[in-house]
Amino acid sequence: MFSKNVSLDKRWKEVIFAGAGFGPNLLMVLMMAYFTDAVLPAGLSADINFWSYGGVTIVSAIVFPILWTIGRCFDGIVDVPLAALTDTLKNKTGKRFITVLISFLPMLVAFILCWIPVFGRGADITSNQQIGNTIWIFVWSIIFFASYTLALITFYGSLSEVCSNQTQRARVSAYKSVFDTISYALVYAAIPAIFKSINVPIWQVAIYASPLMLTILIPFLFVKKVDTPVLETSEDNNVPIGTSISLTLKSKPFLKWLAVNCISFFGLQMFLVSQNALISGVMNLGAGYAAILNTCAFAPVPIMLFFFNKLRKKKGIRFVYQSALLSFAIAIFSFGLGGQYIWGDQLAPKLIIGCIGGVIGSWGIGAFFMVPYLIPTVIASVEEEVTKKNHSAMYFAVQALATSIVGAVASSLVYNYLKLWTSPINGTSEWKCGVSLVPLIVSIFCIIGFFLCFLMPKQYSARVIYKDIQSSAVKEKNKLVHKKAKLIEDFEKESTNINISSISDQEKRILIQENKRKLDIKIAKISLEISKVDEIINYHFDETTSSANEEKDTIVTKESLFAEVCLFFLSGGLFGIINHIIRYKKAKVIGVKFGKLQFVLYILSCLIPFVSIYTNIMLNRKIKIFSDEIKETKEHKMLIGITSALLPLFMNVVALVIIDKKFNIIASK
What single string gives the DSSP state of each residue in 267-317?
Answer: HHHHHHHHHHHIIIIIS---HHHHHHHHHHHHTTHHHHHHHHHHHHHHH-H
Give the whole-number percent of the chain exceeding pLDDT 70: 71
Residue spans of the domains in the chain: they are 12-223+240-460, 470-537, 561-668
pLDDT in tens, 225-280: 544 444 444 444 567 777 777 888 888 888 999 999 888 888 888 877 777 777 77
Please give the CATH number for the structural domain made up of 12-223+240-460.
1.20.1250.20
Mean pLDDT value of segment 508-523: 78
Q: Write a three-state SS string for 217-279.
A: HHHHHCCCCCCCCCCCCHHHHCCCHHHHHHHHHCCHHHHHHHHHHHHHHHHHHHHHHHHHHHH
pLDDT in tens, 534-550: 888 888 776 665 555 55
pLDDT in tens, 380-400: 878 877 877 777 767 877 887
Look at residue 226 in the predicted model and tell me its pLDDT.
47
pLDDT in tens, 325-341: 998 888 888 877 877 77
Look at residue 573 in the predicted model and tell me its pLDDT.
58
The b-or-e profile of 459-485 (16+ CB within 10 A means b, else e) is bbbbebbbbbbeebbeebbeebeeebe
pTM over 0.95: no
C-alpha span between 20 and 437 (Å, rounded): 37
Look at residue 91 in the predicted model and tell me its pLDDT.
43
pLDDT band at 452 (very low <50, low <70, confident <90, very high): very high
C-alpha span between 237 and 231 (Å, rounded): 10
Which one has a higher pLDDT value, 487 or 447? 447
Neighbours of 511 (CB within 10 A): 15
- Mean pLDDT lowest among 2-6, 10-14, 580-584, 625-629: 2-6
Which one has a higher pLDDT value, 365 or 357? 357
Mean pLDDT value of segment 454-479: 84
Look at residue 207 in the predicted model and tell me its pLDDT.
93
Mean pLDDT value of segment 595-608: 70
Q: Write a three-state SS string for 454-472.
A: HHCCCCCCHHHHHHHHHHH
pLDDT in tens, 144-177: 988 888 888 777 766 666 766 666 776 777 677 7
pLDDT band at 632 (very low <50, low <70, confident <90, very high): low
Which one has a higher pLDDT value, 202 or 669? 202
pLDDT in tens, 60-95: 888 888 888 888 788 777 766 766 666 665 544 445
Look at residue 222 in the predicted model and tell me its pLDDT.
67
C-alpha span between 398 and 609 (Å, rounded): 53
Look at residue 356 in the predicted model and tell me its pLDDT.
87
pLDDT band at 635 (very low <50, low <70, confident <90, very high): low
pLDDT band at 579 (very low <50, low <70, confident <90, very high): low
Look at residue 381 in the predicted model and tell me its pLDDT.
79
Neighbours of 425 (CB within 10 A): 11
Look at residue 450 in the predicted model and tell me its pLDDT.
92
Q: Where are the beta strands (DSSP E) in 406-481?
A: 423-425, 429-431
Could you write out the DSSP letters of every residue in 586-617?
A: HHHHTT----HHHHHHHHHTTT-TTHHHHHHH
From residue 1, give the alpha-carbon distance in Å to each of 86, 159, 454, 533, 600: 25, 21, 37, 18, 54
135 has a pLDDT exceeding 90: yes
Q: Give me the residues paired with residue 424 across strands.
A: 430
598 has a pLDDT exceeding 50: yes
188 has a pLDDT exceeding 60: yes
Q: Are 570 and 185 in contact (CB under 8 A)?
A: yes
C-alpha span between 605 and 594 (Å, rounded): 14
- Mean pLDDT lowest among 222-236, 473-487, 622-636: 222-236
C-alpha span between 91 and 237 (Å, rounded): 14
